[in-house]
Structure 1
């Protein structure tokens, strides 16, 4: 049995206001070609098909196109992730079963596999612990308890299907996995993680949720997202796992997906960034720039974009400045007047402290506010 394990498409997502629909459509083209060229028998999509519960019309249209194209070549199994709406993604799922596209969003069906050849595929949609705690009579409110019960039901069905291999799909945070900045927090009272041992007994576990490809064990893997959705993913290699279930074990090869534009983070003084030849490689990338000049340069974003037209995020961390991260806001402004605080802001945003005329205007504004408050 040959499977293609993918997840976290997040159709409809943008990247710091940059439209990614064309890049996501390119990934779907790549996925279809991979299925055709590699003779994939089943495509697994382990959750977060969409980026939000109410996806855009363009995202729905792209998903529809993807499922039609993939369904013409192979069986397809999708599960809901924490970004997906269970009701919207699951609409028409029983009708689609007959076409070879299987959407699993109902926790009550986790023990009902999709049979593909000699393999039973079990889809565990994202399980919100509070929603399954009562119907499943769980002793605690945690992801480990919810997934533990789901796997108990799956193992009971496995035992009745001797001779079939088993694949489990789940959308979860497995202990030891490395997160990035683009996953939505799913913690419940500090109990977001589940041990990898919860999946014992399955021949292969196709995980979704974490956006970096990861091998938790030989049989338990994350495919990661097909595109970078945060600057913390600058070193990720994106793609899908091509998995062979063989009599002698598991074979897995990572198939890289196309990269429309790489993401990167750079830091330094603005003059150095604008003139140093070693930064040429970043000129066509989406950039997060952190400036370290002693004073905030004027017009920094406009100047940076002349050399790096795809600069999206600009930060400022002056070299040698006192580390304020450990102090609260109230501690930092204590014993400073409103006028001083406003003056600091003007200084930070410009190249010089406010002039006497500017300070007079600020003072007048504060007095006007105080007068208005007194009348209320």
Structure 2
């Protein structure tokens, strides 16, 4: 049996407030092409199909078209919700969808999806993102039974215990989809997590890789770069770049082969990258004239300016060469850094410029949009008028 492992599609997410929906749809079309090219039996999507728990109608349409292309290419689909998804919305009509080869495992406990090849059955278990506080409400008797689900590790341990019981009763080759944060490999190496961080209480989000011991293959989701935890436990990462923090150059899927004994081989397949990310650093005039950057004009650009004095209107000038310049930072030479107080630095400057600079600093150096700037300007004018009328 041949599987593709993917995750973290985040349909609807923006890249520093720029639309990515068209890029994602082209990449998912490329995924369907891989299904056809490699004669794949099933595509596993390990959570975060949507970016928001209440997706827009457009985002449902994108997911519907992606699933249809994959089915037309010959593979069934097995998916499970991540922490960004609404399990109930994603699982709506899942009973009907399963009859068409789209299996959405949106709750736990749940029966496995059973597929067959020449060697017999393969049981595919989907473990949705398990929020400990929600589990304690949904399964109040767990505490009475001595089951600790106060942490993500405890929740996954509980789910995997049920999976092992099911496999003991019905032995078969096994695959698990799980959306969680495995912080270290089985050898103790730290996992590189370059996805945007969720707010968690220290340590409570970490899950031990040992919970997946004995499973023929575990398809993980949650981290946006590909990771090999063990030979049989892996992250595929996201198919698109969603932040400059995501530094991994790889965007693709794992191709997983199972034989009669279990896991036979795992191969990486690249997906098309519609727009790469690039960080450029230097003085503004030098960057604008740098011939070595020819050909980068269509990339996502983060600019770090090292001018001793802030140039006038730097973002609009950068965007004339790089229309997709999305963030701007100022890092002047150490000896040129401001020693004045904030009050001294803003003295004599227009209020709108002060607010715009502050907004950029607290929003990962993303400038105000034209609409936001006009709203702020209107508010400042209103405040000034009120003060003048006193």
TM-score normalised by the shorter chain: which range applies?
0.7 to 0.9
- Counterparts of 1:42 and 1:186 in 2: how far apart (Å)? 33
Relative distance call for 1:306 and 1:372 in structure 2 (3 A) is: closer
Counterpart of 1:221 in 2: which secondary structure?
A: strand
2:122 corresponds in structure 1 to 119
Deviations 1:246-304 (A, max 9, x none): 23743111111111111111111112211222222432211010111111001211222
1:273 corresponds in structure 2 to 287
- Counterparts of 1:161 and 1:281 in 2: how far apart (Å)? 57
Which of 130, 133, 136 does residue 133 from structure 2 map onto? 130
Gaps of 5+ in 2: 185-190, 355-379
**Normalising by the residue count of structure 2, what TM-score does the alignment of the two structures yield?**
0.81
- Counterparts of 1:144 and 1:209 in 2: how far apart (Å)? 15
- Counterparts of 1:76 and 1:248 in 2: how far apart (Å)? 20
1:291 corresponds in structure 2 to 305
- Counterparts of 2:270 and 2:253 in 1: how far apart (Å)? 7
- Structure 1 residue 320: deviation in Å? 1.6
Which of 137, 143, 152 does residue 143 from structure 1 map onto? 152
Q: Which has the larger radius of gyration?
A: 1
- Counterparts of 1:66 and 1:320 in 2: how far apart (Å)? 50
- Counterparts of 2:206 and 2:215 in 1: how far apart (Å)? 19
Larger deviation, residues 189-198 vs 291-300? 189-198
Relative distance call for 1:94 and 1:107 in structure 2 (3 A) is: same
2:347 corresponds in structure 1 to 343
- Structure 1 residue 140: deviation in Å? 5.0
Relative distance call for 1:318 and 1:345 in structure 2 (3 A) is: farther
- Counterparts of 1:216 and 1:312 in 2: how far apart (Å)? 33
- Counterparts of 1:140 and 1:161 in 2: how far apart (Å)? 26
Q: How many residues align?
A: 343
Counterpart of 1:212 in 2: which secondary structure?
A: coil
- Counterparts of 2:272 and 2:78 in 1: how far apart (Å)? 23
Larger deviation, residues 259-268 vs 303-312? 303-312
2:245 corresponds in structure 1 to 232
Residues 1:216 and 2:219 are matched in the alignment: no
- Structure 1 residue 187: deviation in Å? 2.3
Contact 1:11 1:50 survives alignment (8 Å): yes
- Counterparts of 2:337 and 2:166 in 1: how far apart (Å)? 57
Larger deviation, residues 189-198 vs 275-284? 275-284
Equivalent residues in 2 for 1:189-204 (5 A)?
189-204=202-217
Contact 2:80 2:127 survives alignment (8 Å): yes
Relative distance call for 1:67 and 1:212 in structure 2 (3 A) is: same
- CA-atom RMSD in angstroms: 2.7
- Counterparts of 1:225 and 1:120 in 2: how far apart (Å)? 25
**Normalising by the residue count of structure 1, what TM-score does the alignment of the two structures yield?**
0.84
1:102 corresponds in structure 2 to 103
Counterpart of 2:334 in 1: which secondary structure?
A: coil
- Counterparts of 2:95 and 2:335 in 1: how far apart (Å)? 61
Contact 2:308 2:336 survives alignment (8 Å): no
2:255 corresponds in structure 1 to 242
2:169 corresponds in structure 1 to 160
Relative distance call for 1:187 and 1:322 in structure 2 (3 A) is: farther
2:325 corresponds in structure 1 to 311
- Structure 1 residue 99: deviation in Å? 1.7
Relative distance call for 1:156 and 1:85 in structure 2 (3 A) is: same
Counterpart of 1:14 in 2: which secondary structure?
A: coil
- Counterparts of 1:189 and 1:261 in 2: how far apart (Å)? 35
1:45 corresponds in structure 2 to 45
Contact 2:148 2:155 survives alignment (8 Å): no
Counterpart of 1:91 in 2: which secondary structure?
A: coil
Contact 1:3 1:242 survives alignment (8 Å): yes
- Counterparts of 1:175 and 1:146 in 2: how far apart (Å)? 15
Gaps of 5+ in 1: 351-364
Counterpart of 1:191 in 2: which secondary structure?
A: coil
Counterpart of 2:70 in 1: which secondary structure?
A: helix
